[in-house]
């Protein structure tokens, strides 16, 4: 299905700040201040009905404008809009793996806390944390509820590749092997987080980042993030 130029422009033009083309720009500016999307890496994609909005690759994400957005039809994966002289984010195949799981938005961060948590879990295929309030912000699809305070949250870690797009198969396998997960850590690189809606994805990304930082700091203090509550604490 090819759209006229006017139809394509209409898909990225709106006064509504919640329109995906506007939200991606706003959220990337927000994520930039958190150190999640500096140096052009990282980003966010949003799905609105059958339209997937994707930012361009290799551009400063905090300077994006709505007319820079690519739009893919889902599930046909046909591009409805491709801005000239730009390439879609290299994360596109990874975002699609999250959409295949029913996500409404997917965030990729290069947060140093995400990177560090993969390094303190050297040689391990996952990161675990328990007995922490912020775990309660993470959904657990198998129960239809959220994780509880005393639950152990486990996030898979996959190995980085030279090119972002080559992560797709291992990310898809991690999603299959960890059906309760809504995030995949990429060693020495960052994290992918997805949610049913853009706001859920954002909340979860914030909770995960908090938990990654906490785990790094706990480990530095000789505490085990997945360990039991020490009775002497109370």
Ligand X SMILES: CSCCC(=O)C(=O)COP(=O)(O)O
Interacting residue ranges for ligand X, rule: CB under 6 A: 39-43, 57-58, 89-91, 108, 164
What are the φ/ψ torsions at residue 188 (nearest 5 degrees)?
60, 20
53, containing H or E segment? strand 51-54
Q: Rank residues 147 and 208 by Cβ distance to ligand X and give the closer one.
A: 208
CA distance 34 to 202: 12
**Residue 88 in contact with Zn ion, rule: CB under 5 A:** no
The answer to whether residue 62 is catalytic is no
CA distance 86 to 50: 22
Q: Judge whether 91 is annotated as a binding position.
A: yes
What are the φ/ψ torsions at residue 201 (nearest 5 degrees)?
-60, -40
Shortest reach from residue 91's CB to ligand X, in Å: 5
Answer with the entry of Zn ion, ligand X, none that 209 interacts with (C-beta below 5 to 8 A by kind).
Answer: none
Task: Find the binding residues for Zn ion in span 23-42 (CB under 5 A).
Answer: 41
Q: Rank residues 20 and 41 by Cβ distance to Zn ion and give the closer one.
A: 41
Q: What is the Rg, in whole angstroms, of the alpha carbon atoms belonging to the chain?
A: 18
CA distance 191 to 113: 10
Q: Judge whether 28 is annotated as a binding position.
A: no
Q: Judge whether 19 is annotated as a binding position.
A: no
Block residue for tokens 């938990």: 211
Task: Find the binding residues for Zn ion in span 147-206 (CB under 5 A).
Answer: none
Q: Judge whether 51 is annotated as a binding position.
A: no
Phi-psi region of 164 (alpha: psi -120 to 50; beta: other; left: phi over 0): alpha
Which candidate in 133, 159, 165, 217 is catalytic? Answer: 133
CA distance 195 to 202: 8
Shortest reach from residue 206's CB to ligand X, in Å: 19
Task: Please give the residue whose beta carbon sits closest to ligand X in the complex.
Answer: 41
Answer with the entry of Zn ion, ligand X, none that 43 interacts with (C-beta below 5 to 8 A by kind).
Answer: ligand X
Q: Which residues are catalytic?
A: 133
Binding residues: 91, 108, 110, 189
Per CB under 5 A, residues contacting Zn ion are 41
């Amino acid at each position: 299905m090819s759209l006229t130029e006017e139809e394509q422009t209409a898909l990225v033009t709106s006064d509504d700040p919640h329109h995906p083309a506007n939200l991606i720009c706003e959220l990337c500016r927000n994520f930039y201040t958190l150190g999640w999307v500096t140096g052009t890496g990282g980003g966010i994609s949003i799905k609105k009905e059958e339209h997937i909005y994707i930012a361009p690759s290799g551009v400063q994400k905090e300077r994006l404008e709505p007319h820079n957005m690519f739009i893919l039809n889902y599930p046909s994966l046909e591009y409805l809009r491709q801005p000239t002289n730009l390439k879609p984010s290299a994360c596109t195949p990874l975002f699609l793996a999250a959409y295949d799981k029913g996500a409404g938005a997917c965030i990729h961060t290069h947060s140093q806390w995400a990177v560090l948590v993969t390094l303190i879990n050297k040689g391990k295929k996952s990161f675990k944390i328990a007995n922490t309030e912020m775990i309660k912000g993470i959904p657990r699809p198998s129960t239809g509820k959220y994780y509880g305070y005393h639950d152990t949250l486990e996030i898979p870690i996959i190995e980085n590749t030279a090119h972002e797009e080559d992560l797709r198969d291992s990310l898809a396998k991690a999603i299959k092997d960890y059906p309760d997960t809504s995030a995949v850590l990429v060693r020495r690189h960052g994290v992918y987080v997805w949610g049913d809606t853009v706001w859920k994805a954002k909340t979860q990304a914030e909770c995960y980042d908090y938990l990654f930082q906490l785990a790094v700091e706990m480990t530095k203090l000789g505490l085990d993030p997945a360990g039991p509550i020490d009775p002497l604490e109370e």
